[in-house]
Amino acid sequence: MVQLTLPANSKVNKNGKHYPAKEGAEKVRTFRVYRYDPDQPDNPRVDSYEVDCSNVSMVLDGLIKIKNEIDPGLAFRRSCREGVCGSCAFNINGANTLACTKSLDDLGAGDITVYPLPHQPVVKDLVTDLSNFYKQHAYIEPFLQARDAEPETEWRQSPEDRAKLDGLYECILCACCSTSCPSYWWNGDEKDTNGEGEYLGPAALLQAYRWLADSRDQLTNDRLNKLEDEFKLYRCHTIMNCAQVCPKHLNPAKAIAEIKKMMVTRPPANTPKSVKAAAE
């Protein structure tokens, strides 16, 4: 029988350093945090910190307290503390979410585990390298494109057409959805510099649909052509992890289904030969 296991040097040591609570600490909660420095020979490990949470309500507050008062070497990203910038996305108690909007009360009474977003290269501790994720976002050309001459003032849009972008434009590119998608884990890797042969993942595809659905954008057919191969769009198998974890309550799976619908309902003259052949 084939045995699938991690290489010895990537196995996580679950019993890393332990930092006990200070005397007199109140409302103590234990944070179990992933630690890894690729420049060091040691395997990843999980350190546990007993934190006085009398003034801590969100997971991010706890991490900041650890960094400020217990272990300044802990690395993680954060900026806005308001669920707007998308930089504090981690895997918390097994689910991807934003540390700044996840309250300790929501996590129950047990330990709080904080790991980096899954299946991304780790730069250090909770900091992942999202270069491929951003490259995929750039690939869908997330900006208005039109063939008509630019208007003197602005591109106009009716309130009804504007309303079609609700649930799409609010994405903060936190990567919670893509990094929780099993299909993205298996097919999302960069295969070559042109983005060929890889699944773009729910975040990039949600944004692709945001521009496909925009009444002012005139490159609809070119945009669909760029998504038309067996990987970029069609590796979504409607597993729905993306919609379940999105901290902004968006539904990338629905947007992906809308793109698939646009693919099959566009006029045959606009459909590349490969799609026609598959449909016959």
| Smallest separation (angstroms) from ligand SF4 to the CB of 234 | 10
- Of 216 and 248, nearer to ligand SF4 (C-beta) is 248
Q: Alpha-carbon Rg of the chain, whole angstroms?
A: 22
Site for ligand FES in 81-110 (CB under 6 A): 81, 83-88, 98, 100
Q: Is the CB of residue 129 less than 8 Å from the CB of residue 120?
A: yes
Q: In angstroms, rounded to a whole number, what is the distance separating the alpha carbons of residues 112 and 32? A: 6
If binding is defined by CB under 6 A, does position 80 make contact with ligand FES? yes
* Per-residue exposure over 98-135, b if at least 16 CB sit within 10 Å of its own CB, e if not: bbbbbebeebeeeebbbbbbbbbebbbbbbbebebbee
**Which residue in the block uniquely carries the two structure tokens 């272990």?**
71
3-state SS assignment for residue 218: coil
Indicate which single residue of 246, 259, 263, 275 sits in contact with ligand SF4 (rule: CB under 6 A).
Answer: 246
Residue 92, H or E segment = strand 89-92
What's the one-letter identity of residue 105? D
If binding is defined by CB under 6 A, does position 241 make contact with ligand SF4? yes
Residue 81 contact, options ligand SF4, ligand FES, none, Cβ 5-8 Å cut-off depending on partner type: ligand FES
Q: In angstroms, rounded to a whole number, what is the distance separating the alpha carbons of residues 259 and 265? A: 10
Q: In angstroms, rounded to a whole number, what is the distance separating the alpha carbons of residues 227 and 262? A: 11
Indicate which single residue of 29, 32, 35, 78 sits in contact with ligand FES (rule: CB under 6 A).
Answer: 78
Residue 239 contact, options ligand FES, ligand SF4, none, Cβ 5-8 Å cut-off depending on partner type: ligand SF4
Tokens of 3: 């045995």
Tokens of 76: 């993680």
- Of 87 and 271, nearer to ligand FES (C-beta) is 87
- Of 169 and 186, nearer to ligand FES (C-beta) is 169
If binding is defined by CB under 6 A, does position 242 make contact with ligand SF4? yes
Residue 78 contact, options ligand SF4, ligand FES, none, Cβ 5-8 Å cut-off depending on partner type: ligand FES
What's the one-letter identity of residue 115? Y
- Of 100 and 181, nearer to ligand SF4 (C-beta) is 181
| Smallest separation (angstroms) from ligand FES to the CB of 207 | 18
Q: Lay out the site mask for ligand SF4 across 167-206 (x = CB under 6 A, - = otherwise).
A: ----xxxxxxx---x-xx-----------------xx--x
Phi, psi (deg, nearest 5) at residue 277: -60, -40
- Bridge partners of 46, per DSSP, are 34
If binding is defined by CB under 6 A, does position 252 make contact with ligand SF4? yes
Q: In angstroms, rounded to a whole number, what is the distance separating the alpha carbons of residues 196 and 98? A: 30
| Smallest separation (angstroms) from ligand SF4 to the CB of 181 | 3
Q: Which residues bind ligand SF4 (CB under 6 A)?
A: 171-177, 181, 183-184, 202-203, 206, 236-242, 246, 248, 250, 252-253, 256
Q: Which residues bind ligand FES (CB under 6 A)?
A: 78-81, 83-88, 98, 100
